[in-house]
Structure 1
Amino acid sequence: MKAFLVFLCVAAVSAFAAVLLLLRSSEDSGREPVASDSSVTAAASPVTRKSVLLTAEGAVIEEFSGDCAGSAYPYLCRYVSERLLAEDPRLLTHDGLTIRTTIDQRLQRAAQQAVDAYVDRDDPQLATQVMIVPGEGAIRAMAASHDAGDRPAFQQGTTSMPYTLATALAAGMRYGDGFAVSDEYQAQGSTMFRNCAGQDAAEPTVVIHNREKGGKRFVTLRSGTRGAVNTFYMRLQEKVGLCETVRMAEGLGLRSADGKPLREIETFTLGPTEADPVSVANSYASLAARGRFCEPMVITEIGDGSGTTRSFPPRCRQVLDPAVADAVTGVLSDVLAKSTLKGIGREAAGMPGEGDAHRSAWYAGYTPDLAAAVSLGDPRGAYRYPLVDVTMGGHRYRQVGGTSVPGLIWKQAMTEATRGTRETRFTRPDIGRFGGCHDACPN
């Protein structure tokens, strides 16, 4: 009997050991074998750390791969990619980057909510908004109604008039100076405008019309800007010079979206330039900063994960007499104050813009601390799809002007962006220098 019990114990132990071996074998079959011989060590898969975009405060915006089609912020993503490509093309394919941007979460939210309030994501029209800090060039918000692929660009329209205004004030003209104009303008010869190469640029066969009829009357710098009077601004550019006006626009920061030099054509003052909101917002930021231009910047620092960082400080320079910039602001403050967009809770200046035949609509404006521009157009083709009899955001519009949808987006975003922040006031214009009239007074 004792021998039988011993046999049973041995058998049980053997069976238990067999089960353990079976379980161990089953577990090992589900994972990679570990080689004990260094000559056959399995290659370990390296862990790839993805690049990320951060806000100015250091919060994660999203992972960044350079492929912006699936980005939650395609407008921002494409602009960052463009900046990286310009800095070093290898950065676009470099994993593990930490890219700190200038984006402010609160302002980005305000800009996007304002765009979404007026233009739906499935509307064919594209609304974009950019906010920039004057005197720094830091882009705080980049919002769009949907992803249109390449950088959005539409005719700037009458938001270009302040460049001619600045040229006139810098040349010694005063608020009360002006001309007797009618509702039509036609250059009296090809030499009335010359480009910066000294070549004739006038088109004597082209007739310019005002959007609103007013008959023959005397129009001043102040009233001509407030009414965006085309014929007045053609006369003003004729007086101060096409080349001088183009150089003023370039100095303040206007750039053609295609990267080519600004077109020095007769109607430059009326805004035929295909521009993007970054460029327009930045040129207005130069006025807000009292003539100080800064290169627009969206990246402040790039870290590669190994402790090496690359910083991007602001690049600024004075391009306009501060007193002249203040004088321009004085006129644009009047434009905003006498429009339906007044009342964002603090001092502000602005100018609406409409492209030829309603092919685009803009609003650009600023406080001393923040500049913003809103563009609106149809990326399918502005000539084929003008902003006439269109539906956006569930509302029907007979035609869209600068103070309608773009202006309303601008006002909502700027009101929210400045809420709860300390107010800074504009420097008052030197009325002794710019008040009254000098050499173009009404008789």
Structure 2
Amino acid sequence: MLQKIGQLVGVGVVAGVLVAALALPAVGGLGITARNVATGFLNMPGDLETPPPPERSVIYDRDGEVIAEIYDQNREVVGLKDMAPVMREAIVAMEDSKFYEHGGIDIAGTFRAAVRTISGNVEGGSSITQQYVKNVLVESADSQAEQEEARETTLGRKVRELRYAIALEQRMSKDEILEGYLNIAYFGDGAYGAESAAQHFFGVSASELSLPQAATLAGTVRYPYLYNPRLNPDAAENRRNVVLDRMADTGRISEAKAKEAKATELGLDITSPSNGCMPSDQPFFCDYVVQQIEQNKRYGETETERARWLRTAGLQIHTTLDMDMQDAAQKAVDEWVPRKNKSRKVAAEVLMDPGSGEIRAMAQSRNYGPDESNIGETSINFAVDAEDGGSTGFQAGSTFKPFTLAAALKAGKEFSTSYSTGNTTTITGQRNCNGGRLAPWTLSNAGDTKGGSTNNMVSGTKGSVNTYFASLQADVGLCNVIRMAETLGVHRADGTSFDNARTQANNSFTLGSEEVSPLTMAAAYATFASRGTYCKPQAIDKIVDEHAGKTIDIKSECERVISKDVADGVGYLLQQTFKGGTTTGLEIGRPAAAKTGTTDGSASAWFAGFTPNLAGTVFVGDPRGPQNYPLRDVTIGGRYYSQVFGATIPGPIWQQTMREATQELPAKDFAAPPSQFGSTSEPQPEQEDGEDGQNADEAASNGGVPDVLGMTADEALGELEAAGFEPNLSSTKVPSDQPADAVGAVNPEPGTGLPEGATVNVFLSSGGGGNGEDAGGGGAGWTGWGQGNPGRGQDD
């Protein structure tokens, strides 16, 4: 009868209940305080906002596969229709059997609770509506103080809940309230809401819950820890049976069904979604995505607001990651630089779509973890800038030389621009961007170069001739080269500008003396691939915020920064490196352009290249400090290297990755070299006295790499060892004019001058002739032509 009256007269009866409670004996001012609360009841605001409860956000790859889940609370909101009827019946039977009959308040229970609360004892008695109100107040609290107020065990809190409950019943249906409650309630063990609880404890969705499973979950909400099925299975089973009995007592199931259900085991199948990037198979890309949201004011005024939005709004974050390309990149870096290699070297690789800036892959040879002292573990993403969760960058060596080429072509220089520099040269008269004159700069090539003492853009690029590029930079102007790099999006990874280079004696900018990230270099090389259009790196395609009813589309930020002719000119020159240049043997079976890079003494090694529809950059080095822990006399992946160059490890990583990553992409040709840049011929070889047409490189063959072409593998290896080199026999055969199984190619080529102990790769012939376009390398690395030193100007 009291329940019916409560449904009819609502607020008046509640006020009467409270007044009746206040009539009980009270001590001191407690009764007066309670009387004041009751008096103000009718004047209390009744509007309660019921925002969606915190829900986990999901990060997807470009094909809709889950990369990671990010959340403060493990919750997936579903509709009431997506919950098994037995789940709804169990929770109502146990928590509020008169739910569909009263007007939001269980009068008898509330009266009893009020009396006991005034007496100093806390008691429940709350209806499902009241419990829903309490949870909403807790979840919507913006501060710790508000959360504590929502949980306080006082009559004042109870009165507020009553007032809100009555108001909710007037504007929401019973099913809407029940749906809200089942989505917001905590079921223990980190599972919020019926859907997440069903998945966590039983490995099923809420729509598939059986009667005993639903009863188990319904039994946890009163005391989630005490009745946690995983931690306290006996208590959980006893509680489940109480729920089943209650369901039978209220006529929701038969006694027979209750008995049958009680005879079953709990049947737990504990599964939990992985929270955060650490458990993800793509942790570093995941971390980059998180950084892109938390650092961007587009998503909130403060980083705290953005972080909370990410972890509570139930976002669907669709990214640009191509899982096939990611797998290819990860496999390659792990194979060549294993994660737990004792030398502690690391490889990082980025693949990017030219023309959109969309990141297709981001991999590195490390496990994601917070303890840097553990071999193979780091939380630093070496592929990106410091502000994005990365490092302060690494000197990029000769991968900077294309920026000098671009500046020269923009200035009107032709491919035939030549300098007679020899193996050593001194550059004088360079000025920084403030007009200050720089000190004379003497630099050398680390060994004989492919182009002899006179080089033009074609031969200088093929052989990565340091002295040539130093002269070209001086001719074009150091400041113009720096500005071209900036135009292509190149910047220091530590966040500082190239101003240091403009004001200090940074003669060696063209040799890659600035610390940058692989992502930055991939974006710059993608600009050449897209024929002059630079696109800001992009990891997120769109964010769906269903609670806010909006989709945020992330459009590519692209602009033309250099002309098509300049981009095509650089692209043509970088293609030549595969034709007897520093990247020979690293072909991928389709048109490609690339550049190696190695800094002084092999402190770090790089490889950057592209096809018309995919760009990629690889870095290898030591995060503890490349200068102090160089790539010399190291064993990585079971292979010993006396010295690592850009073509030794980064090159094969790039080759292996690109061969697999481009399989689903159409094979496209590059544009022809622009006619405005003139002849593409290399300088004629210089003759030496008594050699009758033999050029300087050929004349040096006796002191350089022996000519072992046509020999058997054993003969060639013996010859190279006798010459003081470390031969490495590749498992991949190459097309060649030599007989099958004879030596068809070596890298570097015969006659190349190298330091003693340098690695020379040997490739056996597959027979049938060869044009060099599809020659091999698949697995073994080789040295380039030199080593880089920003101070001395040595680089490959």
Normalised TM-score (structure 1): 0.84
Matched, 1:93 2:313: no
Root-mean-square deviation (CA, aligned residues, Å) is 2.7
Match of 1:246 among 459, 482, 488: 482
SS of the counterpart of 1:351? strand
Question: Shift of the alpha carbon at 1:47?
Answer: 5.8
Match of 1:213 among 448, 452, 456: 448
Question: Shift of the alpha carbon at 1:113?
Answer: 1.0
SS of the counterpart of 1:250? helix
- Whether the aligned pair in 2 keeps the contact of 1:353 and 1:362 (CA below 8 Å) is yes
Structure 1: runs of 5 or more not aligned: 1-36
- Whether the aligned pair in 2 keeps the contact of 1:78 and 1:151 (CA below 8 Å) is no
- Whether the aligned pair in 2 keeps the contact of 1:291 and 1:320 (CA below 8 Å) is yes
Question: Shift of the alpha carbon at 1:143?
Answer: 0.6
Question: Shift of the alpha carbon at 1:436?
Answer: 5.6
SS of the counterpart of 2:432? coil
Tell me the percent identity: 39
2:493 partner amino acid: A
Matched, 1:118 2:336: yes
How has the CA–CA distance of structure 1 residues 177 and 187 changed in structure 2, closer, same or farther, with 3 Å as cutoff? closer
Aligned to 1:417: 661
CA distance in 2, matches of 1:252, 1:432: 22
Match of 2:282 among 61, 65, 73: 73
Question: Shift of the alpha carbon at 1:186?
Answer: 2.5
Alignment of 1:313-324 (within 5 A): 313-324=555-566
Aligned to 2:459: 223
Structure 2: runs of 5 or more not aligned: 1-13, 19-49, 72-274, 298-302, 369-377, 381-388, 687-796
How many correspondences in the alignment? Answer: 397
Question: Shift of the alpha carbon at 1:69?
Answer: 4.8
Question: Shift of the alpha carbon at 1:298?
Answer: 0.6
1:120 partner amino acid: P
Match of 1:267 among 508, 511, 527: 508
Matched, 1:177 2:414: no
- Whether the aligned pair in 2 keeps the contact of 1:183 and 1:210 (CA below 8 Å) is yes
Match of 2:537 among 263, 279, 296: 296
Aligned to 1:18: none
Q: Which moved more, 1:77-86 or 1:396-405?
A: 77-86
Question: Shift of the alpha carbon at 1:216?
Answer: 7.2
Aligned to 1:345: 589
Alignment of 1:160-175 (within 5 A): 160-175=400-415
SS of the counterpart of 2:630? coil
Match of 1:195 among 432, 440, 463: 432
Aligned to 1:370: 614
Aligned to 2:64: 58
How has the CA–CA distance of structure 1 residues 51 and 110 changed in structure 2, closer, same or farther, with 3 Å as cutoff? same
- Whether the aligned pair in 2 keeps the contact of 1:253 and 1:286 (CA below 8 Å) is no
SS of the counterpart of 2:295? helix
Q: Which moved more, 1:239-248 or 1:95-104?
A: 95-104
Question: Shift of the alpha carbon at 1:351?
Answer: 0.4
- Whether the aligned pair in 2 keeps the contact of 1:355 and 1:361 (CA below 8 Å) is yes
2:354 partner amino acid: P
- Whether the aligned pair in 2 keeps the contact of 1:160 and 1:270 (CA below 8 Å) is yes
Matched, 1:309 2:551: yes
Q: Deviations over 1:132-158 (max 9, x none)?
A: 011110000001101441414211100
Normalised TM-score (structure 2): 0.47
Aligned to 1:392: 636
Question: Shift of the alpha carbon at 1:424?
Answer: 1.6
CA distance in 1, matches of 2:536, 2:665: 25
1:137 partner amino acid: G
CA distance in 1, matches of 2:627, 2:283: 25
SS of the counterpart of 2:401? helix
Aligned to 1:26: none
Instruction: Compare the two structures and name the one with the higher strand fraction.
Output: 1
Aligned to 1:283: 524
Give the number of the structure whose alpha-carbon radius of gyration is greater: 2
Q: Which moved more, 1:229-238 or 1:68-77?
A: 68-77
Q: Deviations over 1:214-236 (max 9, x none)?
A: 59711111111111111111111
Aligned to 1:144: 364
- Whether the aligned pair in 2 keeps the contact of 1:286 and 1:294 (CA below 8 Å) is yes
- Whether the aligned pair in 1 keeps the contact of 2:338 and 2:636 (CA below 8 Å) is yes
How has the CA–CA distance of structure 1 residues 199 and 432 changed in structure 2, closer, same or farther, with 3 Å as cutoff? closer
Q: Deviations over 1:18-52 (max 9, x none)?
A: xxxxxxxxxxxxxxxxxxx9999xxx9x9642222
